[in-house]
Each structure stands twice: as C-alpha cells, then as structure tokens.
Structure 1
Amino acid sequence: MTADWKAASASFVLRHHDAAGQIATHLRHLISSGVWQPGERLPSEAELAAGFSVARGTVREALKNLSAAGMVRSVRGNTGGTFVSLPTVARLTETLSESIRMRQASGPITVSEIDEARLHLERSCVALAADRRTDEDLERMRECIDRSRDLSISKAERLELDTMFHSAVATAARNEILDIAMTAVHIARGFADSTLTEAAFEPEHRLHAIDQHMAILEAIENRAPASAIKALDDHVKFMHSLRIEESPEDA
C-alpha cells in the first residue's frame, strides 16, 4: 500500500509557513486513513523530500513530530527505516490528558466542566463494568481501596490511588475509547484537585470517600448497573461538596 501515498497526496498543497508541521499533519492523515498500516515502513527521507519538493531536513523534522506522538518509530541498520507504530492506550491517554490540562490551566476549560464530563463518562463505564467485569478487575479495584485505607499515606498517594481505582473501573467496561477518555479525564482532574479543600483529606472524609468506592465496587461485583450508577452519583456529589467553589470568571 506504500506506493499509494503519492496518489493520496495529489491534493496536498504545501504552504511556505511551517512546512515540516504541514507535512507531519499530512503524513498523520495518511497513516490514520490506512495508506500505511502499523508495522509498514514509510518511504525514505529522500523519497518523501522529493515527493513534497522540500529538503530532507524538513522531512526529518516532520518525522520527529510523528515519533514524539508515538505514530512512527525509527530503526537503524540495513533493514531499518521509519515504521508506522500503533499508538498505545497509555500514549493516547497521556496526550489527551495533557491537552485537557493545558486548556484547563489557560482558562477555556473549567474544573466544573471536567467534573461534568467525568460524571457522564463514568456513568457509562460503571454500567458496562457491571456487565463485563472480571475477577481480575474486581481485584484491582479492591487493592486500590485497601491501600487507600492506610491513613498514613501522603495526599499525592491518596490522589494517585483514587485515579487508579477509577481507571480500573474504566478498564472493566471493556471499551477502549471510554477507557482512554475516562482515564485521561481522571488524570486531568488530578491536576485540578487543588480545588479540593483541606477537609477532603481529613480522616473522616477520606474514609467516607473510600466507603463510597467500595459501594461502587460491590454494585459492579453484583452486576447491578443501576446501583453502580447510583453509588457513583453519590460519590461525585460528596466530592463536589468538598471543592472550593469556582469564581464567576472561572465558571
């Protein structure tokens, strides 16, 4: 299929500004549309440079862009070259969460919007998890809960275990897109948790939140989607009550 890349690029018009970025975007489009499959080798830098009528250095910069995004990998040697990579769930999650964090930090996205997205995504996750969970999924959730009950752990460890628990729920839903989106939102929420009041980390409130995690787990274990959604809603409402209210400018 590699030979089709020139035909697929027939309508591509390269502008003078940021040629490497434009080529990277176009190559990304060709990869995502199936011109090259995961594991296939891309044309050489020289061939790509000739095809786009640019210097090899421009193509090299474009390929570095794709490599940073996890879409290609470089292999040295006689049988080496640049090969298409299938982005991992971890890479996609990281990229999405970083984008959400950047927009939240700069203002377009508020903490309330992140929480709203989290609630609607996770309602779907807990309902599906109640139907599709495995014993291994339940064990992952239970381990997070058990570790969280140790009141001597730091605030950072507590928040990390919270993310791990909800990530385990998302994984149990057996829907990769929901898993990526849900985990990314939870990671982004971790950076937004400066809005939690100190009361959220007091033993009484910490243990109550952990008990709510257990209620979610038990509903999923009992394959009761409606109960799982209800337990999640109770948990989100409780955690929201422990947040600092956003100012009108932030909302």
Structure 2
Amino acid sequence: MPPEPELCVKIGVSRSTVREALRLLASQHLIVTTRGVTGGSFVAHPDAGQLADGLSTGFALLAHSAGVGLADLLELRRALEVPAAGLAAVRRTDAHLAEMRGALFDPAIDDFDTMLSAHSVFHRVLAKATGNPLFELVGRPLYQASYGEEVVAHLPAEYWSRIDADHRELLDHLAARDAGAARLAAARHLDYIAVAAGTQTAGTPTAGTPATGETP
C-alpha cells in the first residue's frame, strides 16, 4: 500500500484518520504492518482460520438475535453436511478416517464439554474429507454455535449415546466409500439433533430428506 502521507493526499483526510483506518484493517487481519526502512502496510493473504473465526462470531451474534434461531442454524447444517458426507465417502483418505476415529468418545464419561468438543472435531474432519476447503470454512462456525443453556438442560438422557452411535455408523459408511448410505446416515443424524433440540418434530424430516426407498 502507499505510505501514509501519500494516502492522506489521495483520500483527502488527515494522517490520524489514515492511521485509525489502517489500525482497524490490521485488527481484522486484512493488512500486515511492519516497521523499518522496508516497512509499511501490506495486504494480507486470506487465512481460512481467521475467516472461520469471523464467521463464528457472526453466527454467534445472529443465533442470539430475534431474526435467526437455532432451527435456522440446524437447517443450514443439514443443507451443508448431508452432501458433504457423500463427497467425503468418495474423497476421504485413510488419514481422515483415523482422525475421525480419534474423535469418537465414550458417552459414559458424562463430561459435556469433552463430548461437545469431540463431536465438533468429528464433523470438522468430515468436512475436511470432502477435499473442498469451503465446506470446512463454512461448517466450522456452525459446529461451534451454542444451543443455549435451556436446550442443553433438556436434551434426552440418551442424547450422547445416540450421537456416538450415529458417528460410528457414518464412519463405517465412509470407510466403505458408500456415498448414498453416508448421506442418509448424515440426514438421520441431523434430524435426530433437531428433534432433541426441540426444533423439529419426530417423524417429520426437513426438506431434502430422501423418501423411503429413494437413493439419496
């Protein structure tokens, strides 16, 4: 980028205004500022992790607003993860399978934070296994979104046991490279989460669920 004095002239503002603007850009990781003879402000290369963190903050704010609810977030998860499961079944590597096996947990440990973290890791690796970095970028904030204390307090007693069983079934389909079965397992998994969270009625799958006998 041009030096500060040149920016002041081109934009027609004071040096303090330019410095404040550069400071804000740097805080958002959009530019990198260095000192010294060869220093200056340089446009930063996009970083997927930082972009995902920004999306996470945005989703967290939206989830607690009047316009967007948990049902909306879960519906978006479903729209993303069902096709992702099919792609992952075709494109996954043995390393991806090993990572997902490492994210399996014993639901008997009864440690909510541990199980929630493992659950998030499992789905993030599944997104990574698609080979499309945008699945992981968009999915990561969704996996980190909070369900809220009220929802968590009323989850069924068997919730984590069912989540664990679903993960193991999905992993089996990925290992077998069965894309259709993987998509169907992912759809059932996310339908269960929506029912358990109270955003969907049991037996009424959301739009996009394959009908009985239909190839997903």
TM score, norm. by length of structure 1 = 0.74
- Write the deviation string for residues 186-218 of structure 1: whole angstroms up to 9, x where unpaired: 122xx124353446473x431221110111111
Q: Using the alignment, how far apart are the partners of 1:179 and 1:243 within structure 2?
A: 23
| DSSP-derived class of the 1:74 partner | strand
Task: Mark the runs of 5 or more structure 1 residues left unpaired by the alignment.
Answer: 1-41, 247-251
Equivalent position of 1:208 in the other structure: 162
Residues 149-160 of structure 1 correspond to what in structure 2 (within 5 A)? 149=106, 151-152=108-109, 154-160=111-117
Q: Using the alignment, how far apart are the partners of 1:127 and 1:91 within structure 2?
A: 27
Q: Using the alignment, how far apart are the partners of 1:99 and 1:205 within structure 2?
A: 28
Larger helix fraction of residues: 1
RMSD of the TM alignment (CA)?
1.8
Percent of aligned positions that are identical: 26
Q: Using the alignment, how far apart are the partners of 2:129 and 2:150 within structure 1?
A: 29
Q: Using the alignment, how far apart are the partners of 1:245 and 1:127 within structure 2?
A: 25
Q: Using the alignment, how far apart are the partners of 1:104 and 1:205 within structure 2?
A: 22
**Given that residues 212 and 231 in structure 1 are in contact (C-alpha distance below 8 angstroms), is that contact kept between their aligned partners in structure 2?**
yes
Distance change in 2, residues 1:178/1:232 (3 Å): same
Q: C-alpha displacement at 1:151, in angstroms?
A: 2.9
Task: Mark the runs of 5 or more structure 2 residues left unpaired by the alignment.
Answer: 201-216
Q: C-alpha displacement at 1:219, in angstroms?
A: 1.1
Equivalent position of 2:119 in the other structure: 162
**Given that residues 197 and 242 in structure 1 are in contact (C-alpha distance below 8 angstroms), is that contact kept between their aligned partners in structure 2?**
no
Aligned pair 1:113/2:72, yes or no? yes
Equivalent position of 1:196 in the other structure: 151
Q: Using the alignment, how far apart are the partners of 2:50 and 2:10 within structure 1?
A: 30
- Which of 18, 29, 33 aligns to 1:59? It is 18
Equivalent position of 2:180 in the other structure: 226
- Which of 57, 77, 86 aligns to 1:127? It is 86
Q: Using the alignment, how far apart are the partners of 1:63 and 1:201 within structure 2?
A: 50
Q: C-alpha displacement at 1:153, in angstroms?
A: 5.4
Q: Using the alignment, how far apart are the partners of 1:173 and 1:153 within structure 2?
A: 31
- Write the deviation string for residues 87-129 of structure 1: whole angstroms up to 9, x where unpaired: 2111111111211111121221111010000001011211111
| DSSP-derived class of the 1:226 partner | helix
TM score, norm. by length of structure 2 = 0.86
Q: Using the alignment, how far apart are the partners of 1:161 and 1:200 within structure 2?
A: 17
